Each structure stands twice: as structure tokens, then as C-alpha cells.
Amino acid sequence: MNNPSTGVLSPAELEGALRKIGHERYHNRHPFHRLLHTGALTLGQVQAWALNRYCYQAAIPRKDAALISRVTDRSLRREWVHRILDHDGWGEKEGGIDRWLVLTDSLGLDRDYVVSQRGVLPATVFAVEAYVDFVARHSPVVAVASCLTELFAPDIHRERIAGMLENYPFISESVLVYFRRRLDQAPRDAEFALDYVKRNARTQSEQQGVLDALTFKCNVLWAQLDALYAAYVSPGTIPPGAFDPSELPCLR
């Protein structure tokens, strides 16, 4: 339990505090996600979501490499590098980014346009690059903690698979392969990261850094949905140059 003389949390208390942050701040509570999962969005709005989320997906290997670049503990590097392989693909193996492009393909978005990220909302880019930068600048334990939104991902992925399949005629089981794979990967990754953080955040200052990192990361995800909501739902003010569903003949 909390040591009153030092303010240091026990590992179980730290986990509880992390889970509380996720419960209050994870982006499954955002109005855009409710709309997405309940079938309330148009094709254009789902396209905008998938297109912007690609920007986040594409940055994840840079984020993981930035983390590794700060780590002198070789065993942590050896564990963490599999995230880069999982997401970028490796040798003949496809990665998570390929699986995300299966989704954008199926939504009728041109692959070159998606990969170019030309139509991404500026606020998405800012949030994503803030995440890469955060990981590059903080200590390994704090950087690892910023990945702990994975603790809350499987529920949202299950909800998303069921909701999108049920509610959108343009979504089929095969295009949701990204989320199905993450149902296996995310719990393993999250369990390792949570264990690492509980073992290595031992001082009050480190524990506060870890809690702040998860709050920061929740903000990174939340801000992306705020931007989507403002541009494509209400007030629906699409920034200059950003993807406009009404302009592009993008459905194949």
C-alpha cells in the first residue's frame, strides 16, 4: 500500500491508478467512437477516420525506435524490437500497417493518397508527432508507460469489430484483420509494459511521470477524435487541404 512517509505507491496501487486514468480518459468515451460503432457515420466520415488513423499507425514504428534509442538495457531492447517488426512487417511478413491499408482499400480510398498523408488533418499530425517526440525525450520507464493505452485496446477492438460489421454495409469481416490481430498482440504487449512499469517506477517522481505519460497518451488519442469530430461531424469545418468526402471520387 501507499507508503505514507514517502508517497510511493505499491505496484498494485500504481496499476490501480493507471487503470483509473484509462477508465476516465481512454478514447472509447469520445462521442466520435460512439458514432463510429453504432453505425451513425456516413461512408465519408468512416473514410476520414481511417485516413487520419493511418497517420497514427504509420508513426508507431518511429515511436518504438525512438524508445529503443534511449534504452541501455539490452533485454528491454530485445523485447521491444518485436513491436517494430509486428507493425512494419519483416522480411516476407506483412505488418500492422499493411493490415490498416486493407481497411482503407476496402473503404475505397486510393492507397497512394492514404500513404502520402496529404489529406490528413493538421491536428492529427500534431498529436501523432507529439507522441513520437514524447517517447524520444523521456526516460524508458515513462516512455513505456505512454504505451499503456494498449491495456484498454482489446475491449474497444472487440466493440469495433462487432459494431462496424453489424452497422455498415461497406465493412466486411476480412477488412477488419488489423483489429483481429491486435486482439492477440495488444494484451501480450500491454502485459509486458505494465509489468515493466510496475517493477521500474519506484520513486514518487517516477510514478508521477508514469501516470502523466498515460494521461498524455490518452490526450493524444482523444485529440485525434476531437479533430475528426470538428472537421467531419460538427461543425463539420474541414480545414484547407484536408480530405473532403464530397470532392473525391474515391469509392471504387
Interacting residues with its own copies between 40 and 59 (CB under 8 A): 58
Q: How far is 122 from 208, CA to CA, in rounded Å?
A: 30
Q: How far is 210 from 19, CA to CA, in rounded Å?
A: 12
For its own copies, the closer CB: 59 or 176:
59
Whole-angstrom Cα Rg for the chain = 19
Residue 118, interface with its own copies (CB under 8 A)?
no
Q: What angle do CA 49, 53, 58 make, to 5 degrees?
A: 155
φ, ψ (nearest 5 deg) of residue 88: -85, -20
CA distance to 19, 99, 136, 139, 209, per residue, from 179 (Å): 22, 9, 27, 30, 30
For its own copies, the closer CB: 15 or 110:
110
User: Least CB distance from residue 20 to its own copies, whole Å?
Assistant: 31
| # of chain residues touching its own copies (CB under 8 A) | 24
User: Least CB distance from residue 29 to its own copies, whole Å?
Assistant: 31
Q: How far is 157 from 99, CA to CA, in rounded Å?
A: 14
- Out of 136, 177, 238, 248, name the contact with its own copies by CB under 8 A: 136
For its own copies, the closer CB: 90 or 170:
90
For its own copies, the closer CB: 8 or 65:
65
Closest CA to 187 of 146, 152, 142, 222: 152
Q: How far is 191 from 148, CA to CA, in rounded Å?
A: 9
For its own copies, the closer CB: 73 or 155:
73
For its own copies, the closer CB: 13 or 94:
94
CB 213 within 8 A of CB 134: yes
For its own copies, the closer CB: 44 or 140:
140
- Out of 9, 21, 121, 132, name the contact with its own copies by CB under 8 A: 132
User: Least CB distance from residue 191 to its own copies, whole Å?
Assistant: 18
User: What is the pattern of x (binds its own copies, CB under 8 A) and - over residues 59-98?
Assistant: --xxx-xxxxxxxx-x--xx--x--xx--xxx------x-
User: Least CB distance from residue 126 to its own copies, whole Å?
Assistant: 16
User: Least CB distance from residue 245 to its own copies, whole Å?
Assistant: 26
Burial class (CB in 10 A: 0-12, 13-18, 19+), 224: buried
The residues binding its own copies (CB under 8 A) are 58, 61-63, 65-72, 74, 77-78, 81, 84-85, 88-90, 97, 132, 136
